[in-house]
Amino acid sequence: MCGRYASSRSPEDLVEEFEVLDPRLDHVVPPSYNVAPTDEVYAVMERAKKDPDGKSVADPVRQLRVLRWGLVPSWAKDEKIGSRMINARMETVAAKPAFRKAFAARRCILPADGYFEWYETRQRTAKGKPRKQPFFITPQDGSVLAMAGLYEIWRDPTKQENDPDAFRWTCTVITTEATDQLGRIHDRMPLVVERGERDLWLDPRAPTDDLLGLLRPAQQAGLTAYPVTTAVGNVANDGPELVEPIPFEDVEETLL
């Protein structure tokens, strides 16, 4: 799974990188080197203006919005379900009730510097469980990691429709099986959207039959992985030091 990631780019950089025409930001999300479930994150999407009957009256326009990580399906009775919906499996995303409607028309890109995974080591905790060493997995060339995602809009039944907090915009990261050396760290990894596939992936009118074929496992996107401080395990910690590599020899003997 992808349960933590880093996102430090400014909205101006993301607007340029993803050719956003209509930024919809009512506030700025500060850089985070330890993005955790339920945190606010940037998402790139395309949306069309609609008439009162819900029909599109214009072509979709690319937007940058702030969403909460952890998808809340439109039919959910409680938004707390979102904390368990941070990832959607590629193998079932088109059919699973929680994700299929979003996959059909509400696809997005979640920009990241990279993501974290934890590797089980030889060492044991006081309770006999394996100690885990965090690794940061990031593009070798320093580019933005464009993680494939979905978004949903949930109506809070406890609020009036004109309340600015009546609608929750939430998202999830699509993952797939990790099969190469990165699979030694964790058996799942994000899917990414290559630059040439962004237009089709984001277009809400695109037929879904071949959309998953556009995506690439992160392992094929020129990534590098290196160990980082265990401080990233605490969501209260944040800062660029969390993504700084630590000497591999410091952890090499503990790895399985």
Q: Which residue has the tokens 């290196």?
A: 226
To the question of domain 4-115+143-221 being in CATH 3.90.1150.10, the answer is no
Query: Does residue 106 contact residue 152 with C-beta atoms inside 8 Å?
Result: yes
**pLDDT given at position 100:** 95
- For the chain, the average pLDDT equals 90
Q: Point out the catalytic residue in the list 46, 108, 117, 171.
A: 117
Residues 6+ away with beta carbon under 8 Å from 118? 132, 133, 134, 135, 185, 186, 233
pTM: 0.92
Are 168 and 72 contacting, i.e. CB atoms less than 8 angstroms apart? Answer: yes
Q: How much is the pLDDT for 184? A: 60
253 catalytic, yes or no? Answer: no
Q: Quick one: average pLDDT of 126-154?
A: 93
Answer yes or no: are the C-beta atoms of 23 and 12 closer than 8 Å: no
Show the DSSP H helices in the chain as ranges: 11-17, 100-105, 198-202, 249-252
pLDDT band with cut points at 50, 70 and 90 for residue 51? low
**Among 2, 46, 108, 152, which one carries the catalytic annotation?**
2
Q: What is the pLDDT of residue 218?
A: 77
Whether the pLDDT of residue 64 is over 80: the answer is yes
Least confident of 63-77, 83-97, 129-143, 168-182: 168-182
pLDDT band at residue 255, thresholds of 50, 70 and 90?
Answer: low
Given this model, what pLDDT does residue 121 score? Answer: 85
Residue 118 token pair:
């934890």
Please tell me which residue, 250 or 140, carries the higher pLDDT value. 140
Tell me the pLDDT band of 26, cut-offs 50, 70 and 90: confident
Active site residue 79: no
Q: Is 51 exposed, middle or buried (0-12, 13-18, 19+ CB in 10 A)?
A: exposed
Name 42's bridge partners: 66
